[in-house]
């Protein structure tokens, strides 16, 4: 058991609630009934500050650890067909075709860290996102979208 010095430390009732075993009210009643131990010692005060990463917490003799939370996200966007000039009769008028973009992210997190797999441009769409024309005599310059990309993202919360 520790005194609060950094972001990791929380009161025992909050830690039990964050672990997902019950509400803070339920945790306070378990602590008061002597059902909770920290590092092998019975604790009956819910306001004790502990470090869930360092201290060993048990409820009715069963060890508790931070629960993983899953998360996911899907991003979709559609960009319709566009023209580069106001009038199709303009000699430097070009059509920028429509395209779809799809991205996804799936991962797990605790209070202190998270890990996620992600994919960008999952449809592998090739489209123009910048079109430049210097004059009607020069060719256009095309900058494509980001290619199909996969990755892993790790975060640690201070």
What backbone phi and psi angles, to 5 degrees, belong to 49? -90, 130
Identify the pLDDT of residue 5: 45
Q: How many CB atoms lie within 10 A of CB 72?
A: 10
Distance CA 142, CA 55 (A): 57
Identify the pLDDT of residue 3: 42
Q: What is the pLDDT along the chain (158 residues), one digit of tens a residue?
A: 444 445 578 899 998 888 878 899 999 999 999 999 999 999 888 888 988 878 889 899 888 876 678 999 999 999 888 877 777 787 767 777 888 999 999 999 887 789 999 999 999 888 765 556 555 555 456 666 788 999 999 999 87
pTM: 0.54
Identify the pLDDT of residue 86: 74
Identify any residues that bridge with 154 across adjacent strands, giving them in sequence order: 115
Domain ranges of the chain: 10-64, 69-156
Identify the pLDDT of residue 141: 60
Range 10-64 classified under CATH 2.60.40.420: no
């Amino acid at each position: 058991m520790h005194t609060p010095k950094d972001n990791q430390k929380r009161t025992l009732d909050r830690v039990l609630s964050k672990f997902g075993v019950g509400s803070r009210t339920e945790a306070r009643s378990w602590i008061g009934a002597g059902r909770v131990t920290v590092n092998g010692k019975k604790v009956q005060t819910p306001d004790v500050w502990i470090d869930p990463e360092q201290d060993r917490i048990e409820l009715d003799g069963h060890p508790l650890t931070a629960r993983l939370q899953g998360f996911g996200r899907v991003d979709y966007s559609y960009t319709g067909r566009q023209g580069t000039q106001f009038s199709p009769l303009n000699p430097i008028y070009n059509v920028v075709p429509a395209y779809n973009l799809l991205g996804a992210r799936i991962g797990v997190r605790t209070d202190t860290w998270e890990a996620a797999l992600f994919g960008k441009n999952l449809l592998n769409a090739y489209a123009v996102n910048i079109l430049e024309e210097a004059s009607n005599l020069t060719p256009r310059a095309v900058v494509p979208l980001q290619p199909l990309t996969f990755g892993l993202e790790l975060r640690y919360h201070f």
